[in-house]
Amino acid sequence: MLRQYELVDLVKSYDPDADEDALNRAYVYAMKKHGAQLRTSGDPYYSHPVEVAGILTKFKLDSTSIIAGLLHDTVEDTDATIDEIRELFGPQVAQLVDGLTKLAMIELKSKDTKQAENFRKLLLAMSEDIRVLLIKLADRLHNMRTLHFCAPEKRMRIAKETLDIYAPLAERIGMQEIKTELEEIAFKELHKEAYESITARLNFLREQGSNLVPAIIKQLEKDMEEGGVKATISGREKSPYSIWRKMQKKNASFEQLSDIMAFRIIVDDVAACYQALGIVHSKYHMVPRRFKDYISTPKPNGYKSIHTGVIGPENTRIEIQIRTQEMHEVNEKGVAAHWAYKQGEKVVGKNFRWIQELLEILEEASNPEEFLENTKLEMYNDQVFCFTPKGDLIGLPINSTPVDFAYAVHSKVGNTCVGAKINGEIKPLRTVLQNGDQVEILTSKAQHPSPEWDRFVVTGKAKAAIRRYVRANKREQFVALGEQMLERTFKGENLEFSEKGLVGVLPNFEAESVEDIYAKVGEGLVSAWDVMKAVYPSYKQSKLGKVVKSFKVRGFGKSDKKTKSDPVQIKGLIPGMAVHFAGCCHPLPGDRIVGIVTTGKGVAVHSIDCKALERYASEPERWLDISWGDGATEGSHIGRLKVILLNEPGTLGDLSNMIARCEGNIANLNITNRTMTYFELIVDIEVRDLKHLTDIITTLRASKSVSYVARANQ
């Protein structure tokens, strides 16, 4: 743990004008307030805020941030107050500490809701001052470093939250160093076996090629010198988590990855970057589709570099990154690399486009959980870069469509989108955009968002806007229907129906307006009889039950809502229709699916790429447009894998253990072929959804005993 004078000296080393007195007072204040409190590790609690402050000094943050780091837990965990901190340390420190204080006093329904509410508050706070996010990331980093002292269940929850929220946030502001460490610790906790397997393979490669990296660096230095480029060259291994992600994304084994080793060439200026690139490409064969120019087209977080994959020195496939020293600083330290606080300025989070988009999602989400879901979608890596007709650059996640592009331009453009021209040609709205596409959105004032769009858009902003419109549209229909139902019910009993009477019973139904009551009746959440009984408490039921029943039969009452007893959660089916999953492709939640009407058996659910669908190509009348419902992942589904195992003692047990550790359950196992060296297996596994099965596949691919594994569609 840093001592008081050591922390002050660190800050003064890069900011001679730092407020030394305030730093000393904050250190002592934190020690006194936390007093005898202990962490789970047994260390004094004040060691945590001191370590958080120490992490912040590595990024050369201003003294206000360091003080806020020292005090960030005092309001939540001690008797300190925001007013006291404002009086002792000033309004800026108080604002930062207030932004970091959790919603501890709010009683929330679930852990997920609590996570969503805390993240919502963090977003609002960092939209006013980005330093809130920087301190929160330092706080999370130190907590992750001491994660092993927590109980297993808590470790898993914190690690998942870190991968879902905090690592992507760190990447969004370019804090590469923090992002990588957060990912590695979380990965080790969530996928221990895969982590150990990849680490073992990296250690093996390191031992086998201990002289390889120095040899490649030496040759690249010679190449640059001969080409007249002054450069500093370094080499490094990719992190285990980044290797795991690439294995998942590319559906590849460890051995198939070409860029496990990366080399950086740092030069003086932009011109030298392209000169160095020319030297590399003239001497070595480029690996197809491995070239990316983030200098001419920077990432949304400001990242600039040239990436290229080549068959380099020693005949080794490597990735080479070329950048200037200034680019390197920004790429590693992100927003902290071009700090403006020394001049008394404040970096307002709203100035960052991605934060503005998250705020728009916050406005449009119906509840904290939906906000958190759409925010996760919005934060992951931007992979596709497209242009407006005026040449403006729009960064989008991979698999984005023109509708995603339209909402990225502006919500009004998305809401009125009727078509799109991609590179001058009219294309369907569900077309997947490619890097470099020029997209022109066609709009109409008469257009409204379609619920169908929600099936193919991928950005959180688009999903939030579409769902908001659908909710509003549904509400209008429910309000009109509910009013009709109530009017008919009151009239059937010869009672006066008036809004004045409904106003008096609003509290009975947790409604804020008469429209709320109409909507609840129309949706079937409240019966018309209950409302009438509340307005006329002394009235006895006569023929009213028949009226209510007639509405339910027509699909307007609770009988139309899904229940836990529904065997399959599928949208797009006619109520009461029999449904079963096709045994040829074993579709899982996450797959695109289609329904085929079969004689005497109802509807068979196939994945969209199932080969068996070819036989129905000439019978379009049998096809149904269906999708997974909200509760589809609550049960278990069968995912089928084809696996080739080494024919050695214990490999079958290893396979079973790896699947079990990934929370999968083997439902059936069939050995289809066996030789002296290999087993070929078909394994049916009970999983939650496609992502669950993909995680299992990636874990198996990381094992030495598994030669091949892939999903079996037949």
Tens digits of residue pLDDT in 663-699? 899 888 888 888 888 888 999 999 989 999 998 998 8
* Block residue for tokens 């045994």: 583
Q: Which of 6, 15, 19, 77 is catalytic?
A: 77
- The pLDDT of residue 501 is 84
Is position 77 annotated as part of the catalytic site?
yes
158: tokens are 């914190």
CA torsion through residues 138, 144, 149, 155, sign: positive
Q: How far apart are the C-alpha atoms of 18 and 279, rounded to whole Å?
A: 46
Higher pLDDT, residue 353 or 523: 523
- What helix, strand, coil percent values describe the chain, rounded to 5? 50, 15, 30
- The pLDDT of residue 487 is 84
Identify the band that residue 231 occupies on the pLDDT scale cut at 50, 70 and 90.
very high
- The pLDDT of residue 255 is 64
Q: What is the pLDDT of residues 277-300, one digit of tens each?
A: 999 999 999 888 788 898 988 876
| Residue 642 exposed, middle or buried by CB count within 10 Å (0-12, 13-18, 19+) | middle
Least confident of 36-40, 207-211, 427-431, 561-565: 561-565
- The pLDDT of residue 678 is 85
Antiparallel, parallel or unpaired: β 637-646 and 706-711: antiparallel
Identify the band that residue 243 occupies on the pLDDT scale cut at 50, 70 and 90.
confident
Q: How much is the average pLDDT of 513-520? A: 86
pLDDT above 90 (res 146):
yes
Please report which residue ranges of 209-324 form alpha helices under DSSP H: 212-226, 240-250, 270-283
Most confident of 183-187, 209-213, 361-365, 412-416: 183-187
Residue in 198, 219, 210 with CA at minimum distance from that of residue 315: 219
Q: How far apart are the C-alpha atoms of 593 and 625, rounded to whole Å?
A: 8
Q: Which of 76, 161, 181, 293 is catalytic?
A: 76
For residue 427, the surrounding DSSP H or E stretch is: strand 425-427
For residue 628, the surrounding DSSP H or E stretch is: strand 627-628
| Residue 58 exposed, middle or buried by CB count within 10 Å (0-12, 13-18, 19+) | middle
- The pLDDT of residue 209 is 62
- The pLDDT of residue 268 is 94
Average pLDDT, the chain: 80
Identify the band that residue 392 occupies on the pLDDT scale cut at 50, 70 and 90.
confident
Identify the band that residue 188 occupies on the pLDDT scale cut at 50, 70 and 90.
very high
To 5 degrees, how large is the angle CA 23–CA 28–CA 30? 95
pLDDT above 60 (res 361):
no
Q: What is the pLDDT of residues 611-651, one digit of tens each?
A: 888 888 777 667 888 888 877 777 788 999 999 998 888 88
For residue 701, the surrounding DSSP H or E stretch is: helix 690-701
Q: What is the pLDDT of residues 651-666, one digit of tens each?
A: 888 899 899 888 899 8
Least confident of 283-297, 329-343, 364-378, 618-632: 364-378
Q: Which residues contact 661 (CB under 8 A, 6 or more apart)?
A: 192, 193, 699
Q: How far apart are the C-alpha atoms of 307 and 574, rounded to whole Å?
A: 52
166, 137 Cβ separation under 8 angstroms: yes
Q: How far apart are the C-alpha atoms of 116 and 108, rounded to whole Å?
A: 10
- The pLDDT of residue 132 is 80
Helical axes 91-100 vs 82-89, angle rounded to 10°: 150
- The pLDDT of residue 108 is 34
Query: Longest C-alpha distance within the chain, in Å?
Result: 99
Least confident of 22-31, 98-107, 214-223: 98-107
pLDDT above 50 (res 563):
no
Residue in 262, 267, 264 with CA at minimum distance from that of residue 228: 267
Show the domains of the chain with their CATH numbers. Answer: 4-193 (1.10.3210.10), 211-334 (3.30.460.10), 468-556 (no CATH), 570-628 (no CATH), 636-711 (3.30.70.260)
Please report which residue ranges of 493-587 form alpha helices under DSSP H: 499-503, 514-523, 528-535, 544-553
305: tokens are 């570099």
- The pLDDT of residue 353 is 53
CA torsion through residues 323, 328, 330, 332, sign: positive
Q: How far is residue 52 from each of residues 30, 165, 228, 267, 349, measured CA to CA in Å?
A: 12, 19, 44, 33, 21
- The pLDDT of residue 259 is 63
Helix (H, G, I), strand (E, B) or coil at 671: strand
Q: How far apart are the C-alpha atoms of 583 and 581, rounded to whole Å?
A: 6
Q: How much is the average pLDDT of 314-341? A: 76
Q: How far apart are the C-alpha atoms of 465 and 365, rounded to whole Å?
A: 8
256, 218 Cβ separation under 8 angstroms: no
Instruction: Calculate what percentage of the chain has a pLDDT beyond 70.
Output: 82
Higher pLDDT, residue 397 or 355: 397
Least confident of 154-158, 276-280, 334-338: 334-338
DSSP-assigned beta bridge partners for residue 321: 264, 307
DSSP-assigned beta bridge partners for residue 316: none
Identify the band that residue 480 occupies on the pLDDT scale cut at 50, 70 and 90.
confident
Q: How far apart are the C-alpha atoms of 402 and 385, rounded to whole Å?
A: 12
| Residue 177 exposed, middle or buried by CB count within 10 Å (0-12, 13-18, 19+) | middle
pLDDT above 80 (res 211):
no
pLDDT above 90 (res 377):
no
Q: How much is the average pLDDT of 141-157? A: 92
pLDDT above 50 (res 103):
no
Identify the band that residue 68 occupies on the pLDDT scale cut at 50, 70 and 90.
very high
- The pLDDT of residue 287 is 83
